[in-house]
Amino acid sequence: MLSGPALAGLYQLTGGRVHWFLDDPAPRRSAAETPAVEVLQECVRALPPVVGEVVVATPPGSIVYNEVRDLLPYRRWGAGRVTLLGDAAHPMLPTLGQGACQTIEDAAALVRCLCSYTHVETALRAYEDQRSRRAAAFVRASRRSSDLRQRAPAGLRDALVRTAPPRLLFSLFGRTIRPAKTPR
């Protein structure tokens, strides 16, 4: 039984192909104990029929079952001449769709810093200083969004978001809706 509503995504690819995912919030003992096909059959029951049709049309051998997890933001991304970027630096849940976006922002900041400083280690620490706070805000906001979606009944959740004071929503998600600042 699902602990909350499953979330599905369908993306049209070239050649008539479709990439799809299902986010099943039900806790599992382990992927090895829960065959993918059983999990999918359970998930698609409550979703629109098109999701079930796409899932059924997918060859079972091409279905991959992975649990998606995040981590609390790291205090340090690197040391010496080594640093992290993207999911390695700030793994986050996909609920805000920001993983790749934050990686692109990381890459842009890293290039700017490498071009601005003569010492690599100084450039890497500057990059980390520029990016860590914003990326951590997305990690936390993604977790809050996921928790809200999984733990609150859909009707109550939607009503809360519609009627919440803008200040409350801004305090929960504000850092993530502002554009990144680009140093001059």
pLDDT over 50 at 1, yes or no: no
Q: If we measure between CA atoms, which residue out of 139, 127, 138, 135 comes closest to residue 183?
A: 127
Q: Helices 120-151 and 154-163: crossing angle, nearest 10°?
A: 120
pLDDT for the residue 175: 57
pLDDT for the residue 118: 97
pLDDT for the residue 177: 59
Question: Sign of the C-alpha dihedral, residues 133, 135, 138, 143?
Answer: negative
DSSP string of 82-98, one letter each residue: B---GGGT----GGGS-
Angle in degrees, CA 121, 127, 129, rounded to 5: 105
Torsion-angle region of 97 (φ positive above 0: left; ψ -120 to 50: alpha; else: beta):
left
pLDDT over 80 at 169, yes or no: no
Question: Sign of the C-alpha dihedral, residues 54, 59, 62, 67?
Answer: positive
6-19 confidence digits (pLDDT tens): 677 788 889 988 88
Beta carbons of 39 and 66 less than 8 angstroms apart: no
pTM listed for this prediction: 0.70
The mean of the pLDDT values for the chain is: 82
Name 159's Cβ contacts closer than 8 Å, sequence gap at least 6.
none
65-114 confidence digits (pLDDT tens): 777 778 889 999 999 999 999 999 999 988 788 889 999 999 999 999 99
pLDDT over 90 at 132, yes or no: yes
Q: If we measure between CA atoms, which residue out of 167, 73, 69, 169 comes closest to residue 128?
A: 73
